[in-house]
Structure 1
């Protein structure tokens, strides 16, 4: 009767593990091959494109790859001394806070409504997600028509006999941004609801049972227990909303064209106008500034994930 030593047993177990690892790798090989084109596009379009944008922001190039001279931070000095750019930054902050707040609050309330296991849930989900399926241009045109003083809500109410009724937010520079916030939030609240609903459905039912036994009010359970447990879904929704705010362009062109005056100008419209006027260096400097809030948000998210992983290793 042959005996197997500990070293032989360890060797055989190592061989079995290596074979199992090779099998797993081979099973994943088609998926890896399938992702190669996506990786090439991501590296070629996004990474190289972003690097190209940053490099050109330090030049005085007027048209792509023609008469490129490096001028350091000159384009950024010009950028922040331009009144139109400064105004567009103020507008994006106001618009961004309003849009994100409405989408998060509205999306969460809709998610809570959908989480009650209502009848015809699929129909309601389709209705709430329908605006997101529309392009920003279509959304802008629809809301422009509704807010138009001649064809929209004002004209309809006046036709009912209220001749003094006035409601034309897009015609007033003080209220035009508010009209854009409402329109863009209508477009984005549905997808926010879908993300937060996935987070709600991930909460263990035992949490609710324990809260009911302890007599905790439902609203308190949501605020103190459920929402902190949904931080992953909330973070995902927040990143998507911030990206959507930073690249706001289509809805501006469709609804106001940046007016009245420059009351609804956004950084993206400044970038496009700079490039169209053959001032590429200035446009790239503005585009680089637009990248910063997204990059900071992603870095913060990675930092918290890294901290969570460290805590997981120590426990």
Structure 2
């Protein structure tokens, strides 16, 4: 399959370029960002060697549709989506913290809990919880970039304020927005027979000082979903939940001896396995969006993206 794993565009009035783990971002005229969702797959802060067909389109379309479904609650950076893999929005100064919110003890939280930790990002966790149990109330467990390298590190509200990463006044807004978005996302997921287990949000500040939601929202890369049907039965029996998230890739990597640790090598992903990963991403899209996924033409994906973005910029100028 033809995938997009890297770009090298030179758009009119381009002023900057940034390459993230999955997205590539072009700055236009010091006021616009063109964000391209590639088909790269990242796990344990490591980018996998091969792309996943349609992953970028899926991430971009879920994120932009959820932006439109939550803009009544929280302002966001989005202006337009000129291509299935592209979002264009306002240039913002990102806050250097990810707002992670968890409704259930899963993933990273469950791994930390299993290792004996009962304090996560300053939040006390009671004894006796099982993996995937629901918390009485959702908890916010922020993350920030480590001093050295690209790894995310857990951080408490107190440390965020002590280190001056975010002011207290701004952090109150980030927490409020995070809880509102998670509540709306949980309601939409429930209407589709799903549980929004946990997710992360990123925020930035526009040139006029407004705090807005940026990047992605409620995608399989930033969120974890369970099927609601069978959840309680599986918990009672101590069985694993069927997930619609990137966690199944992490579990496959762990089984094959990789957790992003020093000296470990990424296991070979066969074409057949990559196809199953693509199928799982499509499954999540169709479940959470409640509509069929329509595959874009990827025969000349680089040309398609370049043409669509340049047309948008020309129309806007």
TM-score (normalised: structure 1): 0.27
Q: Which has the larger radius of gyration?
A: 1
Q: Which has the higher contact order (CA 8 A, sep 6+)?
A: 1
